[in-house]
Every structure is written in C-alpha cells, then in structure tokens.
Amino acid sequence: MGLRMQPRNEKLFILFSKAGSNVVESAAILMEFVAAPHERWAKLPKRMLGTEHAGDDTTQVVYP
C-alpha cells in the first residue's frame, strides 16, 4: 500500500486557502491594533471577532 500525497477531495485545498487568507486578515488587524491610538481600540476587537467566527466556520466544514 503506497502513501498518497494528495487528498482525493480538492475541496480541502479551497478550505485551506480560505483559512490561510483569514489568518492573514487576522494578523493585519492585530498589527493595526498594536499601532493604533487608544481611541481606535474599541472598534478593532469587533473586526477580529468577525475573522475568528469566519475561521470557526471554516473549521466546522473540515471537522464537522
């Protein structure tokens, strides 16, 4: 029995790409939060929460 290097379902690649894009967006929000003046801090966690939920949704598709 040989080792299969590619998944049989191409959907995994799409979901992996979606998850990666979400991580990049989350990192950008975090960098913005660190550099932002104190007055803008209240808005940024709401955006981060949105990316967290998007990541959770992607994870639920992969691991139902």
Average pLDDT along the chain, 64 residues, taken 10 residues at a time: 66 88 95 90 88 91 73
Q: Which domain holds residue 52?
A: 11-62
In a domain, 6, yes or no: no
> What is the pLDDT at residue 59?
84
Kindly state whether residue 5 falls inside one of the protein's structural domains.
Answer: no
**The pLDDT value given to residue 26:** 94
d(CA 29, CA 1): 46
| Residue 3: inside a domain | no
3-state SS assignment for residue 21: helix
- Res 5: pLDDT: 66
**Residue tagged 């929460």 (tokens):** 49
Tell me, yes or no, whether 56 lies in a domain: yes
How many structural domains is the chain composed of?
Answer: 1
Per-residue pLDDT, 64: 67
